[in-house]
A and B are shown apart, each in its own frame.
Chain A
Amino acid sequence: EPEVTQTPSHQVTQMGQEVILRCVPISNHLYFYWYRQILGQKVEFLVSFYNNEISEKSEIFDDQFSVERPDGSNFTLKIRSTKLEDSAMYFCASKRTSGRAEQFFGPGTRLTVL
């Protein structure tokens, strides 16, 4: 069964460093999402992406964040200069169509900023 994959599973970085989190959505999916979950808290929407552009972003998704689909398979989240409070689990999700289609979540990348 196709699934969303994410790499790395765990990333440790120093404050101020740039990180790129990678996701490979399900191959025939067209809508892509990033969510964040700070330890012990709820899942928060960051950004949605369709047709090579951002469709929607939350207030969390400030200028430090960017997303890209550099090729036909990867979907990346870049954090330009990490802060301690960026430490969280980051989930990628994808769905095939808009409307009543389900989002499928990847296993997540745990980002630890020291």
Chain B
Amino acid sequence: ELKVEQNPLFLSMQEGKNYTIYCNYSTTSDRLYWYRQDPGKSLESLFVLLSNGAVKQEGRLMASLDTKARLSTLHITAAVHDLSATYFCAVDIGDNNDMRFGAGTRLTVKP
């Protein structure tokens, strides 16, 4: 059974600090996505990673993918309060590209 594991599940950090969220998955896949979800809202696409070694950056967030290690990271640089949200990684599998999500990391950035 495919497993997608994120850690940490809860992250409380001070503004200005750096931190990394990890996403491990158990199947062969070279398609991994990061989403942001605000409370009661839908999923906002952050990054689409489609090959080994892919690295993408948007503002204070940077995502990378290592398909050999089956690991993706989401790095937060100099966190600000607006980044407070839940972040999900998702792995795209199979011919029909069904997605399997991690449990999510609930990030709280404190002033």
Contact = CB atoms under 8 A, between A and B. Distances in A.
Interface stretch (B17-25, B62-70, B71-79, B98-106): B98-106
Interface residues of B, number: 23
8 contacts: A31-B97, A43-B90, A56-B96, A98-B97, A102-B48, A103-B99, A105-B42, A108-B42
A59 B31 CA distance: 23
B96 A55 contact: yes
Contacts, number: 59
A55 B98 CA distance: 9
A48 B90 CA distance: 16
B94 interface: yes
Interface of A: 31, 33, 35, 41-45, 48, 50, 55-56, 91, 93, 95, 98-108, 110
Contacts of B94: 56
B96 A98 contact: yes
A98 B103 contact: no
Given A42-B102, A42-B103, A43-B90, A99 B42 contact: no
Contact of B97 (A44, A103, A107): A103
B95 interface: yes
Nearest to B101: A43
A45 B98 contact: yes
